[in-house]
């Protein structure tokens, strides 16, 4: 330490205002710092510093001394460490160490008495800035002077720091924790200061100590002389309350005032407490987190006043028991000093990182404030205010709840030191008024912010709803247009279909005049019926020829004719249909197939109690496997065919009619015909199925019929089919698509009858 | 005489032109008093005043509506409105009970995920999706009560906001005192 450095800072500026209350420090600063017996239970409020944290432990879990109980990521976050080993008995709301004693979430740690610690890793090699800061943060170090501001933030300022001030002023009466710490751990404190210097790189460092602590100043001087700290000096300042306040100390040492709303770092100054310096040294060099602190337990209501190492989280009740607290109904427990401390409403609250004093005064020592009287406007309060406010004006406005006016008198700059209340001849608890006013102002401000936020959200929502509405409308319009265009297209189709139907009808009537006009409402069904009627008649006239020429063709034709007949039967007007005489003895398989189809049809016609057809058929007994496969194929085809639109069907019907008028001439293209035949077969199969479901007794028979029909269809597809057959198939398709349920029932009945007849005949033959 | 007439006519013309120009140039859009009134309203958008939001009520006040229709604002807001509008303060239409700040809370095990409350919330303070649990963003909730009615399973309740250490208002007489 150079001589120039010491003289440089001997110039001191006076503190505005301030008072000289009785110091009462001798009560506790004569004995060294002692240790108390460990407590059985510790209360660890979560989180202590920083808004958010995540619990890292569970209830019932065993924790070791120094183990962090929380995790967090926010910049302000500081871990809460277990002060000793034990189990977490509970995590629940407990009263807080706060004037309100409002319950906060607290970890209750049940000590196991072993005091087993996690291994603390001492720094072996020189650490980088980041490592030091990380260690300070991990150790959970907060300002030990009482404000509990995270030190790692203060030690990592954005701006250049010119001056580091170590606050060992301890201006409040009664408190001697820093005094004793400086006396006993001066070199450790200086080690901490060295770390801060390394982090901040200040031009000068000042350790400020009030002149009522000469022993502490002496100890620090000696330690400083022994150390190699650059540009560091001890500054003894006159005793005056509240010179230990951060901004007040800066004013005393530099003559600069920290502007309203600013922080010392804006002036290039950082102020740290000596207790913080000690904790930083421990955290960085030994890796020990902030587990305990020195607390002054003092007052005349206690047997053993003095300073004690107390674990953070120790219940105040435990400390009082250990130090011989004489509880009386009117005795008070004050946390902090007599000027700025607060009275606890319950002693089952923990010691926090910033708790530096427990004051237990006797009633006559620190009397309850007498009844408040009217302000006499003496102006004493304005004389002592260290922040140069007008406490009187603030009082009026706070009392009248004119908080905006109080704000205009810079209420927010009040440090709540209590000087004004101390000097007030009317015993007005001025600070209490200011605190209420400050809380109200803060609430109003938050409400305003909340309202603005709500308004923003409401407007954003309104905008969004508006947009969504517009989008919906646009979409609806688009859909409507699409529908409109689609509808006009459909109409065209419908017109075309109607035209086709009319044509078909005309053709049918022109071709066969003797066919009775169907009266069913369903035009398609009618057409189909008419067509089938024509077929049947044609078949009748040329049936014998066909059979003579080719058994096969005849059989198929007969079957189809029967199908037609059935349809006609389904219509209310009874048409006379053919009696297709299929060759009963025909060994030809195809003939059998045809017969099967016919029987299916016949069954249906009979179901309607109007047995128009007399089909003489021999039902095939043997089921062909191939036929079954074919049936499956046919079914698939039928499905495809069903997709075809109605106009196509009508066209088909028209074609059929033409073809049927000239049954023997091969006019149509074979490929087209083959496809149609397939469809016809599938339809036949479907019908057969339906029929089978209608009459359960014929179930075995049905499958056979179906398969045989399918087989027939397969043969159709082979292409060597006469035109008549193909055209018949067409009709089938159209008919089937406009299927009538009644017709099916009729068919089922008819088939049943037919079957019975066949059996009888077979027996005769045999 | 003639000079005076001419002069006055000229003056009248000049000022007329100036005033006409000013009326166009510095025209105020909307009624500025509405903005002032709206700034005083609590923006809960609750509709308890009978208007669909705070802005419509502000407009109504500007057009002569009573100033005591805002329960969330309480008597403080009413008094400010009385000051602003130059009318006599009137007792609020609501009881004191409705003036406590509340926040909606969804009992999540009962929520069926119908999204009805989400649609009702004027400030989008409820998050959730169809057939999934919903929850209220307490920091954004204005306590307007509008989500309670649409809930088909009545799983939404309005909880008064509790004081914590940060929001404590230093009402020392409210602290329960225990004997040591």
| Residue B45, preceding peptide bond in cis (omega within 30° of 0) | no
Task: Say yes or no: B38 and B71 in one domain.
Answer: yes
Q: Is residue B132 part of a domain?
A: yes
Residue A517 in domain: no
**A96 vs B165, B167, B177: nearest CB:** B165
B123: nearest CB among A329, A439, A461 = A461
Is residue B114 assigned to a domain? yes
Whether residues B137 and B114 share a domain: the answer is: yes
Q: For residues A535 and A657, what is the distance between their CA atoms, to the nearest angstrom?
A: 8
Span of A104-113, A710-719, B51-60, B76-85 with lowest mean pLDDT: A710-719
CB A594 within 8 A of CB A763: no
Same domain as A133, residue A54: yes
| Amino acid A728: pLDDT | 43
Residue A32 CB burial class (10 angstroms; 0-12, 13-18, ≥19): exposed
Is any Cβ of chain A less than 8 angstroms from the Cβ of B165?
yes
Look at residues A340, A367, A394 and tell me which one is the last residue of a structural domain. A367
Choose among B123, B169, B177: nearest Cβ to A457: B123
Range with the poorest average pLDDT among A18-22, A658-662, B139-143? A658-662
Task: Establish if A516 belongs to a structural domain.
Answer: no
Give the pLDDT of residue A471.
96
Which tens digits make up the pLDDT trace of A244-280?
999 999 999 999 999 998 999 999 999 999 999 999 9
Nearest to A443 among B54, B142, B169 (CB): B169
**CA-angle at A407, arms to A404 and A411, nearest 5°:** 145
Contact A314, A351 (CB under 8 A): yes
Contacts of B121 (CB under 8 A, 6+ apart): B146, B147
Q: Answer yes or no: do A98 and B168 touch at CB < 8 A.
A: yes
Contacts A460 to B, Cβ<8 Å: 124
Kindly state whether residues B85 and B106 are assigned to the same domain: no
Tokens, residue A86: 């034990």
Answer whether A543's CB lies under 8 Å from A557's CB.
Answer: yes
Mutate to test the interface with B, among A436, A450, A456, A468 (most CBs of B within 10 A): A450
Contact at CB, B164 and A458, closer than 8 angstroms = no
B 118-147 residues with CB below 8 A of A?
122-125, 140, 142
Residue B122 lies in a domain: yes
| Same domain flag for B107 and B92 | no
User: Which of A367, A397, A419 delimits the end of a domain?
Assistant: A367
What is the predicted pLDDT for the residue at A330?
A: 79
CB atoms within 10 A of CB A5: 15
B180 vs A436: CB contact, 8 Å cut-off?
Answer: no
Nearest-neighbour CA in chain B from A105: distance (Å): 11
Spacing of C-alpha B99 from chain mean position = 13
Whether B92 and B106 share a structural domain = no
Write down the pLDDT at residue A364: 83
Tell me how far apart the 2 most distant CA atoms of chain B are, in Å: 99
- A458 plus A312 within the same structural domain: no
Predicted pLDDT of residue A202: 94
Which H helix or E strand runs over A71? strand A70-71
Give me the pLDDT at residue A745, please: 61
> Taking residues A7-25, what's their average pLDDT?
84
CB atoms inside a 10 Å sphere around CB A611: 17
Nearest Cα to Cα of residue B155 among B121, B97, B113: B113
Please indicate, yes or no, whether residues A89 and A194 belong to a single structural domain of this protein: yes
The answer on A349 and A404 residing in a single domain is no
Q: Are residues A412 and A555 in the same domain?
A: no
In whole angstroms, what is the distance from residue B143 CA to residue A454 CA? 11
- Average pLDDT of the residues in A411-416: 94
Question: Looking at chain B from residue 13 to 72, which residues have their Cβ under 8 Å from any Cβ of chain A?
Answer: 41-45, 53-54
Specify the residue for token string 């060992």: A168
Residues A393 and A341 in one domain: no
Test A457 with B164 for CB contact under 8 angstroms. no
The number of C-beta contacts closer than 8 angstroms across A and B is: 78
Task: Please tell me which of the candidates B45, B164, B178 has its beta carbon nearest to residue A102.
Answer: B164
Verify that A350 and A485 share a domain, yes or no: no
Helix (H, G, I), strand (E, B) or coil at A255: coil
Q: Do the Cβ atoms of A454 and B44 come within 8 Å? A: yes
User: What is the per-residue pLDDT for A614?
Assistant: 40
* A527-584 pLDDT, tens digit each: 544 455 555 555 544 444 444 445 556 566 666 666 665 655 554 444 343 333 434 4
- Cis peptide bond upstream of A521, omega within 30: no
Counting residues of chain A whose pLDDT is more than 70, the rounded percentage is 65
- Check whether residue B104 and residue B131 sit in a common domain: yes
Within this chain, do residues A427 and A558 fall inside the same structural domain, yes or no? no
Report chain A residues whose CB lies below 8 A from the CB of B168.
Answer: 98-100, 102, 439
Q: Mind listing the pLDDT tens digit of every residue in chain B (180 residues)?
A: 899 999 999 999 999 999 999 999 888 877 888 988 988 898 888 888 889 889 899 999 999 888 888 888 888 888 889 999 999 888 887 665 556 788 999 998 999 999 999 999 999 999 999 999 999 999 899 888 889 999 999 999 999 888 888 888 887 766 655 545
Same-domain status, A331 and A465: no
Whole domain around residue B83: which residue ranges? 32-96
For A116-132, the pLDDT digits (tens) are 999 988 887 888 999 99
The reply to whether residue B180 touches residue A447, judged by beta carbons under 8 angstroms, is no
Assess A440–B contact: CB distance below 8 Å, yes or no.
yes
- B169 is a domain residue: no
* Residues B90 and B108 placed together within one structural domain of the fold: no
B175 touches chain A (CB under 8 A): yes
pLDDT at A733: 41
Please report the pLDDT score of residue A662 as a whole number.
40
Residue B152, domain CATH: 3.30.70.20
Interchain pair A104, B164: CB under 8 A: yes
**Does residue A532 share a domain with residue A504?**
no
pLDDT at A546: 41
pLDDT of res. B163: 83
Q: Spell out which residues of chain B touch residue A346, defining contact as CB-CB under 8 Å.
A: 178
Report how far residue A109's alpha carbon sits from residue A315's, in angstroms, rounded to the nearest whole number.
Answer: 11
Residue B105 in domain: yes
Whole-Å CA distances, A453 to A369, A448, A449, B122: 43, 8, 6, 12
The residue in chain A having the minimum alpha-carbon distance to the alpha carbon of residue B142 is A454
- CB distance from A99 to chain B under 8 Å? yes
Query: Which residues in chain B touch residue A101, judged by CB atoms under 8 angstroms apart?
Result: 175-176
In which domain, by residue range, is A78 found?
Answer: 1-367
Q: Does B91 touch chain A (CB under 8 A)?
A: no
Interhelix angle A214-226/A186-200, rounded to 10 degrees, is 60
Chain B partners within 8 Å of A435 (Cβ): 170
Going by their DSSP bridges, the two strands A163-168 and A204-210 should be labelled as parallel
Domain containing A199 — which CATH number?
Answer: 3.40.50.11540
For residue A236, pLDDT over 60 is answered with yes
Q: Are residues A334 and A443 in the same domain?
A: no
pLDDT value, residue B150: 93
CATH of residue B90's domain is 1.10.15.40
Query: DSSP assignment of A147-192, as one string?
Result: T--BHHHHTS-SSPP-EEEEEE---STT--HHHHHHHHSHHHHHHH
Structural domain count of chain B: 2
Report which listed range, A67-81, A171-185, A367-381, is most confident.
A171-185
Tokens for A95?
């009263």
Instruction: State whether B140 and A440 contact (CB < 8 Å).
Output: no
State the total domains in chain A: 3
Q: Flag the least confident range among A19-33, A441-455, A637-651.
A: A637-651
Query: Least CB-CB distance to A458: which of B122, B167, B175?
Result: B122
Question: What's residue A666's pLDDT?
Answer: 42
A54-55 and A41-45: which strand pairing?
A: unpaired
To probe the interface with B, which of A48, A102, A148, A456 has the most B CB atoms within 10 Å? A102
Is residue B167 assigned to a domain? no
Summarised one tens digit per residue, pLDDT across range A306-359 is 999 999 999 999 999 999 998 887 788 999 999 999 999 899 999 999 999 999
Number of other CB atoms surrounding residue A248 within 10 Å: 25
Name every chain A residue with its beta carbon within 8 A of the beta carbon of B123.
454, 457-458, 461
* Nearest beta carbon to residue B142 from set A98, A443, A454: A454
Question: Do A473 and A534 sit in the same domain of this protein?
Answer: no
Number of alpha carbons in the 13 Å side-chain half-sphere of residue A727:
27
The pLDDT, as a whole number, for residue B145 is: 86
Structure confidence at residue A661 (pLDDT): 42
Report residue A384 CA to chain centroid gap.
Answer: 56
Mutate which of A454, A459, A469 to test chain B, going by most B C-beta atoms within 10 A? Answer: A454
Q: What is the 3-state secondary structure (H, E, C) of chain B?
A: CHHHHHHHHHHHHHHHHHHHHHHHHCCCCCCHHHHHHHHHCCCCCCCCCCCCCHHHHHHHHHCCCCCCCCCCCHHHHHHHHHHHHCCCCCCCCCCHHHHCCEEEEECCCCCCCCCHHHHHCCCCCEECCCCCCCEECCCCCCCCCCCCCCCCCCCEEEEECCCCCCCCCCCHHHCCCCCC
Contact B63, B121 (CB under 8 A): no
| Domain final position from A476, A511, A546 | A511
**Residue A680 domain-assigned?**
yes
């Amino acid at each position: 330490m150079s001589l120039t450095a010491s003289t440089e800072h001997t110039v001191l500026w006076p503190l505005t205002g301030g008072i000289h209350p009785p110091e009462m420090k001798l009560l506790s600063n004569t004995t060294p710092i002692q240790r108390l017996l460990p407590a059985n239970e510790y209360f660890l409020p979560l989180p202590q510093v920083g808004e958010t944290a995540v619990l890292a432990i569970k209830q019932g879990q065993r924790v070791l001394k120094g183990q962090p109980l929380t995790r967090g990521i926010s910049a302000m976050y500081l871990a809460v460490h277990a002060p000793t080993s034990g189990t977490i008995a509970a995590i629940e709301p407990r009263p807080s160490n706060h004037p309100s004693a409002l319950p906060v979430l607290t970890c209750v740690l049940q000590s196991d008495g072993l005091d087993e610690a996690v291994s603390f890793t001492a720094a072996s090699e020189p650490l980088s800035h980041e490592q030091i800061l990380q260690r300070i943060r991990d150790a959970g170090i907060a300002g030990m002077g009482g404000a509990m501001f995270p030190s790692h933030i203060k030690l990592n300022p954005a701006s250049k720091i010119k001056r580091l001030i170590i606050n060992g002023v301890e201006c409040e009466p009664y408190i001697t924790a820093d005094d004793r710490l400086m006396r006993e751990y001066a070199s450790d404190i200086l080690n901490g200061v060295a770390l801060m210097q390394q982090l901040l790189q200040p031009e000068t460092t000042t350790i400020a100590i009030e002149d009522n602590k000469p022993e502490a100043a002496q100890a620090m001087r000696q330690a400083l002389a022994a150390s190699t700290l650059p540009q560091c000096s001890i500054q003894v300042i006159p005793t005056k309350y509240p010179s230990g306040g951060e901004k007040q100390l800066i004013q005393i040492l530099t003559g600069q005032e920290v502007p309203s709303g600013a922080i010392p770092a804006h002036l290039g100054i950082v102020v740290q407490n000596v207790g913080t310096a000690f904790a930083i040294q421990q955290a960085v060099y030994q890796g020990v987190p902030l587990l305990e602190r020195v607390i002054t337990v003092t007052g005349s209501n206690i047997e053993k006043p003095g300073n004690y190492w107390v674990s953070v989280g120790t219940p105040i009740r435990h400390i009082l028991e250990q130090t011989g607290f004489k509880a009386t109904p009117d005795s008070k427990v004050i946390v902090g000093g007599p000027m700025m401390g607060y009275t606890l409403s319950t002693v089952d609250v923990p010691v926090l990182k910033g708790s530096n004093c427990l004051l237990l005064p006797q009633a006559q020592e620190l009397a309850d404030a007498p009844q408040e009287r009217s302000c006499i406007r003496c102006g004493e309060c304005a004389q002592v205010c260290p922040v140069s406010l007008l406490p009187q004006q603030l009082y009026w406005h706070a009392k009248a709840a004119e908080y905006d006016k109080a704000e205009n008198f810079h209420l927010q700059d009040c440090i709540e030191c209590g000087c004004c209340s101390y000097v007030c001849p009317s015993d007005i608890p001025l600070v209490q008024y200011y605190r209420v006013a400050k809380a109200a102002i803060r609430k109003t401000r938050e409400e305003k912010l909340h309202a603005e936020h709500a308004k923003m959200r409401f407007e954003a929502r309104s905008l969004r709803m508006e947009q969504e509405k517009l989008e919906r409308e646009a979409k609806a319009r688009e859909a409507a247009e699409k529908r409109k265009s689609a509808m006009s297209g459909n109409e065209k189709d419908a017109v075309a279909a109607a035209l086709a139907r009319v044509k078909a009808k005309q053709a049918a009537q022109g071709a066969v005049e003797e066919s009775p006009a169907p009266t069913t409402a369903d035009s398609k069904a009618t057409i189909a019926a008419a067509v089938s009627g024509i077929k049947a008649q044609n078949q009748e006239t040329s049936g014998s020829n066909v059979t003579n020429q080719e058994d096969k063709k005849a059989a198929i034709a007969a079957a189809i004719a029967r199908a037609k007949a059935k349809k006609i039967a389904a219509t209310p007007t009874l048409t006379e249909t053919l009696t297709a005489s299929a060759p009963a003895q025909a060994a030809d398989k195809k003939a059998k197939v045809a017969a099967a189809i016919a029987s299916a049809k016949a069954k249906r016609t009979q179901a309607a109690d109007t047995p128009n057809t007399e089909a003489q058929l021999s039902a095939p007994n043997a089921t062909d496997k191939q036929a079954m496969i074919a049936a499956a194929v046919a079914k698939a085809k039928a499905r495809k065919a069903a997709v075809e639109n109605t106009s196509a069907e009508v066209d088909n019907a028209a074609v059929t009619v033409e073809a049927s008028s000239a049954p023997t001439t091969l006019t149509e293209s074979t490929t087209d015909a083959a496809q149609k035949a397939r469809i016809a077969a599938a339809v036949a199969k479907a019908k057969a199925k339906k029929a089978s479901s209608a009459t359960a007794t014929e179930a075995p028979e049905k499958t056979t019929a179906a398969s045989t029909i399918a087989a027939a269809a397969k043969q159709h597809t082979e292409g060597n089919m006469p035109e008549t057959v193909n055209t018949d198939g067409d009709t089938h398709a159209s008919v089937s698509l406009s299927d009538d349920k009644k017709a099916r029932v009729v068919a089922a009945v008819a088939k049943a009858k037919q079957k019975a007849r066949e059996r009888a005949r077979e027996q005769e033959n045999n | 005489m003639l000079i005076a007439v001419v002069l006055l006519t000229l003056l009248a013309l000049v000022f007329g032109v100036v005033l006409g120009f000013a009326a166009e140039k510095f025209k105020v859009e909307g009624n500025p008093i509405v903005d002032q009134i709206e700034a005083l309203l609590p923006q809960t958008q609750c509709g308890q005043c009978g208007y669909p939001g705070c802005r419509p009520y502000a407009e109504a006040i500007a057009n002569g509506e009573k100033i005591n229709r805002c329960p969330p604002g309480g008597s403080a807001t009413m008094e400010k409105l009385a000051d602003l509008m130059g009318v006599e303060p009137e007792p609020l239409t609501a009881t004191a009970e409705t003036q406590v700040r509340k926040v909606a809370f969804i009992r999540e095990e009962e929520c069926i995920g119908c999204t009805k409350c989400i649609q009702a919330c004027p400030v989008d303070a409820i998050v959730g999706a169809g057939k999934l649990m919903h929850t209220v963003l307490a920091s954004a909730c204005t306590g307007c009560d509008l989500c309670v009615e649409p809930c088909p399973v009545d799983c939404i309740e309005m909880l008064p906001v509790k004081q914590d250490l940060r929001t404590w208002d230093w009402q020392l007489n409210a602290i329960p005192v225990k004997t040591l």
